[in-house]
Chain A
Amino acid sequence: MTVKGAFCIGMLVLTGSFGFSQNLLEILDEEQDKVPQFTEATFKTTRITFGHSIETRKKGVLELFVSNRFWNTPEERTQSFLSDRMSTRIALEYGFTDRFSMGFGGTTWDGLFDGYAKYKLVQQGLEGKGSPVSITLFQNATYFSEGIANDAIADDFGNRMSYASQLLIARKFSRKFSLQVTPTFIHRGLEFSEEDPQNHFAVGIGGRYKIGNHMSFVSEYYAVANPIESFNTYSPFAVGVNWEIGDLMMQFQLTNALGMAEPAFIAQTRNNFNFRNPNLNFGFNVAYIMHFKRKLKGLKQEKKP
């Protein structure tokens, strides 16, 4: 071994040890990488616009969810205050665990009572690790409470029930942009005509783009593969803005979908989207969030030394 060679090795060891002692933070970074990380807030609200998003409410969170749709009749002049017609859905939605939540609500206009259960199956990982998408399972059931106009239809419980099953698949592409694809299966209890299918397949696509730290632009669309034949139905579409301030989350949207439960708005939207009356609905949803399980109860601030 020459002197030069030994010197080189010496330098190597030296720089090695020097570099090692300098990078305490790097050691911690390596430690950190061992813990799997997940994305947060692909969407903020449990709905994108009218349809459900992959988000579920966390354990012990009760959400009072009030959705409204306002629209006008085609008449030239009316004397209604604000708008000619409105429909309201009032619901309570609760997170039983961080992954599982349920909700129950009723809609004034079409007399639909609905309930749903939602389970978050997979949460998207961070920085390419873990799952590339988040997946949530969704099951809804609605009960039609109004009188059935058609005498030919038996007035029994089964006929009044409709169901929607959805697989919500979403990916947060960047901090601003998230996209969701929603394969849907709907079973309608009411058979308006023999030519109508009672089972529908549909697919929804929805996304959000954040335009501020507390505000995002959202849009959603559902296409039905085998729509109702006996009357014209159209694909529900919405554009809107979601805004959240603390415990209050608000959604403003323009849509052609009148219904607020899945079987209603996906399969039975009777107007196409345009800016004429009564096609255009103004939607305004408010979710007020209450926390019933407070964590960190025992946490007290240290006394200053």
Chain B
Amino acid sequence: MNKLIPILFLVSFCVHAQNTEKIIARQGNVAFFSYTSVENIKAQNNQVLSIIDLSNGEIAVNILMNAFVFEKALMREHFNESYIESDIYPKATFEGTISDFDSSQSEPHTRIVKGTFTMHGVTKTLDIKTKIEKIDGKYILTGTFEAVVKDYDIKIPPLLAGNIAKTISVDFRFEYDPYDS
């Protein structure tokens, strides 16, 4: 019994510590770009959610698909209804770990984030080069990666095949605040 009390104390402390060690970005920025000779498409979502557990470098991202704003209003409708089918797959998610994450490092540095990205019901493993900065005690993660449209089972009608790039490049930027549940 006496031995258990410190363990219990430790465990509850862990829970508490974990709570305070999470940081969240509620207005994360994700933009994607598709360049072809016919048409350039760009879209931006600035309501992306992301959370990092500083104790172990685990990161999760939740992108609401219908929150993407397009250059052309109609594109957004097409994107949601005909391509990404956001009524069935409302969000894209990323779950991974920042490799060699060290929360004590305050210099800007680059890390590989390894994890799984799920979009349109398809899960892919991604390694994303990410720049990590700490400005005024706030973590800022930025980076870019590429997604191959075909990999995610997104159907493009032959008539419009020339309008949408085979590979979409995705930029992201997250600014984190402490998370209190």
Q: Do the two chains belong together in a single complex?
A: yes
* B74 touching A247, Cβ below 8 Å: yes
Contacts of B4 in A (CB 8 A): 3, 6-7, 10
Write the chain B residue with the least CB distance to A31. Answer: B49
Residues of B1-58 whose CB lies within 8 A of A: 1, 4-5, 7-8, 11-12, 14-15, 18, 22, 24, 26, 31, 33, 42-44, 47, 49-51, 53, 55-56, 58
Interface string of A34-45 (1 = CB under 8 A from B): 010101110010
B residues near A61, Cβ cutoff 8 Å: 73-74
**Shortest CB distance A210–B (Å):** 9
Find residues 60-76 in chain A having any chain B CB closer than 8 Å to their own CB.
60-61
A74-119 interface (Cβ within 8 A of B): 95, 98
Please tell me if the beta carbons of A59 and B142 are within 8 angstroms of each other in the complex.
no
Could you list some 12 contacts between A and B, CB below 8 A? Answer: A13-B11, A16-B15, A28-B50, A31-B24, A39-B87, A44-B77, A58-B74, A175-B87, A213-B157, A294-B71, A296-B43, A299-B42
Given A10-B11, A41-B77, the answer on whether A3 and B64 have CB atoms closer than 8 Å is: no
Contact B1 A291 (CB under 8 A): no
Answer yes or no: B85 CB below 8 A from chain A CBs.
yes
> How many Å lie between the Cα of A304 and that of B128 in the bound state?
12
CB pair A10 B26 closer than 8 Å: no
Given A21-B53, A61-B73 in contact, is the A28-B60 Cβ separation under 8 Å? yes
| Residue in A9, A25, A57 whose CB lies within 8 Å of B8 | A9
Closest Cβ–Cβ distance, residue A28 to chain B (whole Å): 4
Whether A128 sits at the interface, judged by CB under 8 Å, is: no
Residues of B within 8 A of A25 (CB): 60, 62, 93, 95
Does the CB pair B60–A289 fall under 8 Å? no
Using CB atoms and an 8 Å cutoff, list the residues of chain B in contact with chain A.
1, 4-5, 7-8, 11-12, 14-15, 18, 22, 24, 26, 31, 33, 42-44, 47, 49-51, 53, 55-56, 58-62, 64, 66, 69-74, 76-78, 80-83, 85-88, 90-91, 93, 95, 110, 129, 131, 142-144, 155, 157, 159-160, 163, 169, 171, 179, 181
**Which one of A24, A37, A246, A294 lies within 8 Å of B51 (CB-CB)?**
A24
CA distance A189 to B123 in the complex (A): 62
Q: Are A13 and B86 neighbours in the complex by a CB distance under 8 Å? A: no
CB-CB contacts below 8 Å: A213-253 with B: 213-214, 244-247
Q: Is there a chain B Cβ closer than 8 Å to A14's Cβ?
A: yes
Contact A294-B72, Cβ < 8 Å, known A16-B15, A20-B18, A28-B49: yes
Could you tell me the distance in whole angstroms from the C-beta of A81 to the nearest C-beta in chain B?
28
Task: Return B148 CB to nearest CB of chain A, in Å.
Answer: 16
Q: State in angstroms the CA–CA spacing of A305 and B60 once bound together.
A: 22
